[in-house]
Structure 1
Amino acid sequence: MTSLILPTEDGGTREYRVQGRTVWQRPTAPLTARHAYAAAHVIPEVLADNTPGAPARLDWDATMAYRHELWSYGLGVADAMDTAQRGMGLDWSATAELIKRTGVEAASVVAANNAATAGKTVRDLVSCGAGTDQLDLETLPTGQAGLAAVLEAYREQIAVVSEAGPKIILMSSRALARIASGPQDYLKVYSTLLQEVEQPVILHWLGTMFDPALAGYWGSGDVAEATATFLSLIRENAAKVDGVKVSLLDADHETALRAALPAGVRLYTGDDFNYPELIHGDGSHHSDALLGIFAAIYPAASVALQHYDAGEDAKAREILDSTRELGKHIFSAPTFYYKTGIAFMSWLNGHQAGFQMVGGLHSGRSVGHLAKTFELADQAGLLQDPSLAASRMSNFLRINGVGA
Structure 2
Amino acid sequence: MSATVRLPRADGTLEERRLAEPARWERPASAIASRVAFAAAHVVADPFGDNVPGAPAVVDWESTLAFRRHLWSYGLGVAEAMDTAQRGMGLDWATTRQLIDRSAAAAREAGGRIAAGAGTDHVPADVASLDDVTAAYEEQVEVVEASGAQVILMASRQLARLARGPEDYAKVYERLLAQVSRPVILHWLGPMFDPALHGYWGSAEVPTASTALLDLIGRHAAKVDGVKVSLLDADHERALRAALPAGVRLYTGDDFNYPELIRGDGTHHSDALLGIFAAIAPAASGALQALDRGDPLGYDAAFAPTLPLARHIFAPPTWYYKTGIAFLAWLSGHQPGFTMVGGLESARGVVHLAELARLADEARLLPNPDLAAARLRAFLDVAGVPR
- The CA distance in 2 between the partners of 1:12 and 1:326, in whole Å, is 21
Which of 302, 308, 317 in structure 2 is aligned with 1:319?
Answer: 302
Separation of aligned partners in 2, 1:342 and 1:2? 21
* Percent identical: 59
Q: CA deviation at 1:13?
A: 1.4
Name the structure 2 match of 1:279. 262
2:226 aligned partner, one-letter code:
G
Tell me if the contact between 2:187 and 2:228 (Cα under 8 Å) persists in the aligned partners.
Answer: yes
SS in 2 for 1:307: helix
CA distance in structure 2 between the partners assigned to 1:30 and 1:137 by the alignment: 41
Structure 2 residue corresponding to 1:128, chosen from 91, 116, 124: 116
The equivalent of 1:74 in structure 2 is 75
**1:308/1:316 contact within 8 Å kept:** yes
CA distance in structure 2 between the aligned counterparts of 1:158 and 1:399, rounded to whole angstroms = 43
TM superposition shift of 1:321: 1.6
1:314 is displaced (CA, Å) by 2.4
Report the TM-score when normalising by structure 2: 0.98
Give the TM-score taking structure 1 as reference length.
0.94
User: Superposition pairs for residues 184-223 of structure 1, below 5 Å?
Assistant: 184-223=167-206
**Kept after mapping to 2: 8 A contact 1:79/1:127:** yes
Partner of 2:125: 137
Post-superposition Cα deviations, 1:185-204, rounded to whole Å, max 9, x if no partner, equal: 00000011111111000000
Deviation at 1:9, TM superposition (A): 1.4
Q: In structure 2, what residue type is equivalent to 1:181? A: R
Task: After TM superposition, give the deviation of residue 317 of structure 1 in Å.
Answer: 2.2
1:180 corresponds, among 163, 176, 182, to 163
Amino acid of the structure 2 residue aligned with 1:338: Y
How far apart are the structure 2 equivalents of 1:8 and 1:16? 12
Q: Check whether the contact 1:304–1:315 (CA below 8 A) recurs between aligned residues.
A: yes
Once superposed, which parts of structure 1, at least 4 consecutive aligned residues long, lie more than 3 Å away? none
Q: Secondary structure at the match of 1:196?
A: coil
Q: Is 2:19 the counterpart of 1:15?
A: no
Give the structure 1 partner of residue 338 of structure 2: 355
In structure 2, how many angstroms separate the alpha carbons of the residues matched to 1:134 and 1:304? 38
Distance 1:401 1:109 in 2: 42
What is the rounded CA distance, in whole Å, between the counterparts of 1:280 and 1:168 in structure 2?
26
Task: Kindly indicate whether residue 108 of structure 2 is the aligned counterpart of residue 107 of structure 1.
Answer: yes
Match of 1:334 among 317, 329, 341: 317
* 2:120 aligned partner, one-letter code: T
Residue identity matched to 1:314: L
Deviations, residues 255-293 of structure 1 (Å, cap 9, x unaligned) = 000100000001110000000100111111111000000
Q: CA RMSD in A?
A: 0.9
Aligned residue identity for 1:7: P
The equivalences for 1:29-40 within 5 A come to: 29-40=30-41
Task: Measure the CA separation in 1 of the matches of 2:20 and 2:65.
Answer: 30
Aligned to 1:114: none
Q: Deviations over 1:24-56 (max 9, x none)?
A: 111111100010000000011102111100000
1: CA distance, partners of 2:16 / 2:110:
43
> Do the aligned partners of 2:9 and 2:355 also contact (CA within 8 Å) in 1?
no
